[in-house]
Structure 1
């Protein structure tokens, strides 16, 4: 049995939408019946990491209460260090959409990801996702009404496998690399339930999950 622990949902991202998107992706895997998927809260992350799941999916922004005057960050210094040890010992992390948002660029977590969310233009817009850089036509591209995540990424030290472009500019949308004995995947789309259930997004997310569990670069 393969164990996946998923931390989903926050102030801006509905947990039920994320569950639907994740389950749709996992159902694409031919071995999906051998996956034990556990949904966890941020309070449970430390204990779950002690149990060393095969994959930890983070689709939760750093701020628990982003609209309050005193903002609480769930990723404490101790938990930040624990995530590093989990990966170094052979664990895998998939940072999905909000799982790259609001975290300190100086945190161990972001250093491992080698990239993070910077901002997105207001609202939803047409975003072109490309599986090959600058290839805006052909079978390797698709269009999605989405938030366009504009990110910082240390592209020289990871393998970029998804690009994005919109009226507001170009960005990277997916990358992956090894970190010590573990694996890191980052995937920026999608914000809405419809976007997460989009066939292209679901297929790409399934591929990310498969890579973290089995494949090599």
Structure 2
């Protein structure tokens, strides 16, 4: 049995909407041997001790971004623990907000080799491309979304998804091996409709499959 744990939801992102999107992707995966558990940020450390097959992080670091004094959930201890988990053979998928608001110098972001930089205000018509600069055709799809603009160490990861919108072009997905484990970042999508887009579900399922394929049984 493959155990997947997911940390979803924050001030800007509704956990129930993310659950719907993730469960659609798991269904698209078509693997009856997958069990999915939802956890809180307080449970991350204990759960990683249990060595799940995949940890999906779809939560930004700031717990209260609008307050004068902002608190974050990724402690120095957890920052190191997540990286050690992957080095020892665990897998981490940073989905949408899972790369947002973190210290670029943290061990976690250094492991991801990329992070959220900014997005234009509101929702835009965003086209996602499976091949760079192929802005129309069978390898593209479009919907209303937050277009994440990211910083990415492209020389040390495999970019496999790009985005384009009225504000320009960006990278939208990448993956690589890290130690004995695997790491993946996937930026779509912000809304429930976007997460339930069949193309997003299919691609998210492909990411999950890649990450668990070495232990899938």
TM-score range for the pair, normalised by the shorter chain length: over 0.9
In structure 2, the residue matched to 1:8 is 8
In structure 1, the residue matched to 2:35 is 36
Which structure 1 residue ranges, 4+ long, deviate > 2 Å from structure 2? none
Matched residue count: 214
Alignment of 1:170-181 (within 5 A): 170-181=169-180
- What is the CA distance between 1:167 and its match in structure 2? 0.7
Deviations 1:16-44 (A, max 9, x none): 0000000000001121x211111000000
- What is the CA distance between 1:137 and its match in structure 2? 1.4
Alpha-carbon RMSD across the aligned residues, in angstroms, is 0.6
Deviations 1:184-217 (A, max 9, x none): 00000000000000010010000000000016xx
Runs (5+) with no aligned partner, structure 2 = none
Please, what TM-score do these two structures have when normalized by structure 1? 0.98
Q: What CA distance in whole angstroms lies between the structure 2 residues aligned with 1:142 and 1:85?
A: 36
In structure 1, the residue matched to 2:90 is 91
- What is the CA distance between 1:49 and its match in structure 2? 0.3
Matched, 1:82 2:81: yes
In structure 2, the residue matched to 1:108 is 107
Secondary structure (helix, strand or coil) at the match of 1:163 reads strand
Secondary structure (helix, strand or coil) at the match of 2:133 reads coil
Deviations 1:142-175 (A, max 9, x none): 1110001000000110000000011101100000
Q: What CA distance in whole angstroms lies between the structure 1 residues aligned with 2:143 and 2:152?
A: 22
Deviations 1:22-71 (A, max 9, x none): 0000001121x211111000000000000000000000000000011110
In structure 2, the residue matched to 1:214 is 213
Q: What CA distance in whole angstroms lies between the structure 1 residues aligned with 2:46 and 2:208?
A: 22
- What is the CA distance between 1:104 and its match in structure 2? 0.2
